[in-house]
Amino acid sequence: MPDRELAVTQRSQAQLVARRFRRHRLAVVSLAVLLALVLLAFVGGWLWKYSVVDLTSDESVPPSWDHPFGTDAAGHDTFAQVLRGTQISIGIAVLGALVATVVGTVWGATAGYYGGRLDTVMMRIADLVLTLPFLAVAAVLGHNVGGSWWLIAAVIAGLYWAYVARVARGVVLSLREKEFVEAARAIGAGDARIIFRHLVPNAFGSIIVNATVLVAIAILLETALSYLGFGVRPPDTSLGLLVSDAQTAVDTRPWLFFFPGLFIILIALTINFIGDGLRDALDPQQTRVRR
């Protein structure tokens, strides 16, 4: 395959997707806001004069030039705290969603492709995971494995892969009846080749959209866990933990509650809108040119 030529045509298909995505204004705005937030959290947090552990002499001051988001009772700069919290929350969400998506896709595609008894067994296992009370299990696991952000990501992935598997299986079930799958079999393709070269790429649209929804769900789940005290532990922090710590200060020092809350809402909302935009942009029904 001539790489240069392939690159050209692939870009042209990506361009089609990009063009349709750009038409979804809310998604474009959301993408810009999310990118700004990520940039702010990861670059801004590094540049900002206070770090998450710094204790300043200003205690419980409202937002000012020196402390844009104010400070808490111990003198922590809330801006620095929120930036660090955003880093952790996004990290957990993205890693959790990624692992859940990969595991779920392979699981669901395999079950859907082979069908029959294997499908039944695999999907009953997934159903079992789906019936677990998410928050309770996550709380127990989070409590026992404790603290570190990637373990929380793993807990989230461990609970949500089954959800992805259901989606992937559904898509593969409809795809495997397509003639191009039979055509692949007719030229002698093995099962692995059919699954990973033909079925999964064609299910990619649905899967990526689900992944964005998962990221949003994971942000909220992490928030809930940390709020309940089973997530990230001090001195490190996350958006959920910040909200949790500030719950008693809602009336007296609203900035402690307001800013992390705003960030949670912004991240979850923008990711959902981006997911909507992606779904429309990747929809093959819209790819079809009228002839």
User: Could you tell me what percentage of the chain is helix, strand and coil, using 3-state DSSP and rounding each to the nearest 5?
Assistant: 80, 0, 20
Residue 143 or 185: which CB sits closer to other proteins? 185
CB of 188 vs other proteins, minimal distance in Å? 4
Minimum separation from the CB atom of position 104 to other proteins (A): 20
- 77 — phi, psi (to 5°)? -75, 120
Contact with other proteins (CB under 8 A): which of 22, 23, 49, 124?
23
Could you tell me if residue 168 is left (phi over 0), alpha (psi between -120 and 50 degrees) or otherwise beta?
A: alpha
Nearest CB to other proteins, comparing residues 183 and 250:
183
Radius of gyration, CA atoms only, the chain: 22
The nearer residue to other proteins, 22 or 49, going by C-beta atoms, is 22
The residues, any chain, with a CB within 8 Å of residue 282's CB and separated by 6 or more, are 17, 204, 205, 208, 209
| In the complex, minimum distance from the CB of residue 28 to other proteins, in angstroms, rounded to a whole number | 16
d(CA 203, CA 193): 15
Nearer to other proteins, 74 or 186 (CB): 186
Which of 57, 116, 235, 291 touches other proteins (CB under 8 A)? Answer: 291
Is residue 8 involved in binding other proteins (CB under 8 A)? Answer: yes
Residue nearer to other proteins on the CB measure, 13 or 252? 13
Instruction: Report the distance separating Cα 126 and Cα 26, nearest Å.
Output: 34
Which one of the spans 83-91, 209-217, 248-256, 282-290 is the region binding other proteins (CB under 8 A)? 282-290
| CA distance linking residue 54 with residue 56, whole number of Å | 6
Angle, vertex CA 187, rays to CA 183 and CA 192, nearest 5: 85
| Residue 190 vs 235, nearer CB to other proteins | 190
Rounded to an integer, what distance in angstroms lies between the CA atom of residue 186 and that of residue 216? Answer: 42
By CB under 8 A, name the one of 3, 9, 74, 117 that touches other proteins.
9
Number of residues located near other proteins, criterion CB under 8 A: 34
Identify residue 186 by its one-letter amino acid code: A
Cβ 201 to other proteins shortest distance, Å: 5
Each residue 196-225 as x (binds other proteins by CB under 8 A) or -, in order, gives --x--xx-x---------------------
For other proteins, which is the closer residue by CB, 146 or 201?
Answer: 201
Do residues 245 and 78 lie in contact, with contact meaning Cβ atoms separated by under 8 Å?
Answer: no
> How far lies 52's CA from each of 59, 72, 86, 222, in Å?
15, 12, 12, 19
> Which residues from 173-192 bind other proteins, rule CB under 8 A?
178-180, 182-190
Residues near other proteins (CB under 8 A) are 1-2, 5-6, 8-10, 13, 20, 23, 178-180, 182-190, 193, 198, 201-202, 204, 284, 286-291
